[in-house]
Amino acid sequence: MKLIVGLGNPGAKYAANRHNIGFMAVDRIAADHGFSPWKARFQGLVSEGRLGNARVILLKPQTFMNLSGQSVGEAMRYLRLSPAEVIVLHDDLDLAPGKCRVKQGGGHAGHNGLRSIHQHIGADYGRVRLGIGHPGHKDRVAPYVLSDFAKADADWLDDLLRGVSDGAADLAAGDGARFQNAVAARTQPARNSGTRPAPGAPLRTPPVPAPAPAPVPAVSEQPASLTDKLRQLTDRFRQP
């Protein structure tokens, strides 16, 4: 079993915030893979289902971001899981918008939700870093993450969430490389120069060169004149 946690803040006020991209990701997984309806449990909302061969519990802590560890710790202990069986999806300021990275263990890099989880279960859990970009100055970080995604973000955000959902079974199986390939298949074609077709697009076959024109037959010698033909016939009859 795996516990996959999306981080965010509860309530409609925060639903479209950059800080809530973790909630958005697990919502997309639940919708695309036929998980059960969300229900209140472990100081959060949970949805159950399967990804590939793995039984998975999706969790959205409802304790607000800074206390996320309370919900994650309660769920992990009840389900008798180790930190290595917990995967946390969260926003990351240090990655460009639409980028995604997977890592196991490590520091919390100042993220308040991860800091709380560290306090409750330690640092050995997995995490999926979902890039939202940086506002440019540390004093603008708080209002930036607590503001909604812009309309201009809609395309790359949808591609990223689709990619996370596409690779969810690989993530649950512990295959981070294949998971990231699935995300890249969604996100990279939108940024290329148009030389590579998007997923599902028909392949373009190279144009077949037109056949070379048939060689013009050499012009034969001009036919003999009528006088020459008559002379040839006359000579033939003169032969003994």
Q: Phi and psi dihedrals of 165, rounded to 5?
A: -65, -40
Q: Give the integer Cα–Cα distance in Å for 174 and 180.
A: 11
Distances, alpha carbon 190 to alpha carbons 21, 155, 157, 194, 229, in Å: 20, 9, 11, 9, 78
Strand partners, 3: 57, 86
Written as one string, the DSSP assignment of 96-153 is -TT-EEEEES---TT-HHHHHHHHHH-S-SEEEEEE----SSGGGHHHHHTSBPPGGG
Q: Give the integer Cα–Cα distance in Å for 131 and 96.
A: 5
Of 19, 90, 111, 118, the catalytic one is 19
Amino acid at 42: F
Catalytic residue flag (residue 90): no
Q: Where do runs of H (alpha helix) occur along the chain?
A: 21-32, 68-78, 112-121, 141-145, 154-166, 168-172, 176-187, 226-238
Active site residues: 19
